[in-house]
């Protein structure tokens, strides 16, 4: 039972999002561990958080940029993260949009199943609150891509989210599992991969690298195993530049030829 208290405005907004956004199916749901885990997916622009909120099963908390939850920080963050890659002549328009969405952002992200994340010392509070929620039976959902290209499916991952498993193990003695998730808006499906478990005996730097590499590769492998379709990338680029889920060697060959 979901006992989180939400405002009427949020419930109305959520209903409209559910009505007009793609309806996602689940594939590989049986791969999710019985215990709370960390689900790591490709961001797929706004589709990832929306799909996680509306369609992921069980209790969950979604790591969300803390700036999107604070009225004074939304506009600058939204423009930089969502629309700064658009052609320069459109920036004036998207700066206005960034300001217009501020009240909606504050309402949505403070009512949804979200935890604020920052890239400074405040991150420790995210770890602490995440551990509390994990102990209460909620899984964490994380979209760790950053603005650094990796391949045609995912961008490179920020790796500090793996530290959550280190803190959780110290607190509970339980090694967390990380589950890869490929989100395909074009196929309207959430694809789960095989989980990987944190190794508390290994140095944390090695675990960050090992787990991020596995998750990135697993999401990529799921994507390229599917029929050809358009991938919605992390960056909000022109739709005509969206990549396909072609195998990496084919994609890289095409890139080299162009």
46, part of any domain:
yes
| pLDDT at 236 (0 to 100) | 85
Q: Which domain holds residue 165?
A: 8-257
Question: Does 1 map to a domain?
Answer: no
Euclidean distance between CA atoms 32 and 11, whole angstroms? 28
DSSP helix/strand/coil, 141: strand
Average pLDDT (205-219) is 98
pTM of the model: 0.89
Backbone angles phi, psi at 41, to 5 degrees: -130, 170
101 within some domain: yes
Domain count, the chain: 1
Q: What is the pLDDT of residue 166?
A: 97
Instruction: Give domain status of residue 60, yes or no.
Output: yes
> Residue 88: which pLDDT band, with cuts at 50, 70 and 90?
confident
155 DSSP β-pair partners: 149
pLDDT of residue 247: 72
Cα–Cα dist 226/85, whole Å: 29
Assess if residue 23 is contained within a domain.
yes
Asked if residue 2 is part of any domain, the answer here is no
Q: Using the predicted structure, report yes or no on whether residue 85 has a pLDDT greater than 60.
A: yes
- With beta carbons less than 8 A apart as the criterion, state whether 48 and 209 touch: no
Report pLDDT for 6: 86
Structure tokens belonging to residue 195: 């989980």
In this predicted structure, what is the pLDDT of residue 248?
A: 57
């Amino acid at each position: 039972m979901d006992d989180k208290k939400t405002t009427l405005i949020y419930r109305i907004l959520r209903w409209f999002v559910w009505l007009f956004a793609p309806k996602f199916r689940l594939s590989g749901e049986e791969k999710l561990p019985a215990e709370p885990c960390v689900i790591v997916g490709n961001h797929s622009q706004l589709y990832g958080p929306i799909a996680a909120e509306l369609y992921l099963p069980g209790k969950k908390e979604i790591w969300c940029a803390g700036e999107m939850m604070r009225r004074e920080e939304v506009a600058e963050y939204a423009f930089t993260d969502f629309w700064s890659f658009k052609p320069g002549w459109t920036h004036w328009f998207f700066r206005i949009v960034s300001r217009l969405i501020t009240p909606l952002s504050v309402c949505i992200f403070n009512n949804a199943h979200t935890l604020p994340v920052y890239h400074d010392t405040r991150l420790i509070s995210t770890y602490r609150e995440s551990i509390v929620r994990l102990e209460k039976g909620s899984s964490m959902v994380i979209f760790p891509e950053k603005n650094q290209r990796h391949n045609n499916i995912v961008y490179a991952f920020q790796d500090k989210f793996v530290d959550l498993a280190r803190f959780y193990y110290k607190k509970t003695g339980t090694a967390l599992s990380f589950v890869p998730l490929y989100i395909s808006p074009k196929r309207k499906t959430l694809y789960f991969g095989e989980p990987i478990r944190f190794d508390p005996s290994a140095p944390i730097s090695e675990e960050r690298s090992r787990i991020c590499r596995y998750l990135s590769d697993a999401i990529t492998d799921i994507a390229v195993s599917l029929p050809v379709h358009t991938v919605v990338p992390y960056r909000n680029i022109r739709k005509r530049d969206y990549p396909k889920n072609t195998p990496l060697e084919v994609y890289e060959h095409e890139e080299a030829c162009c």
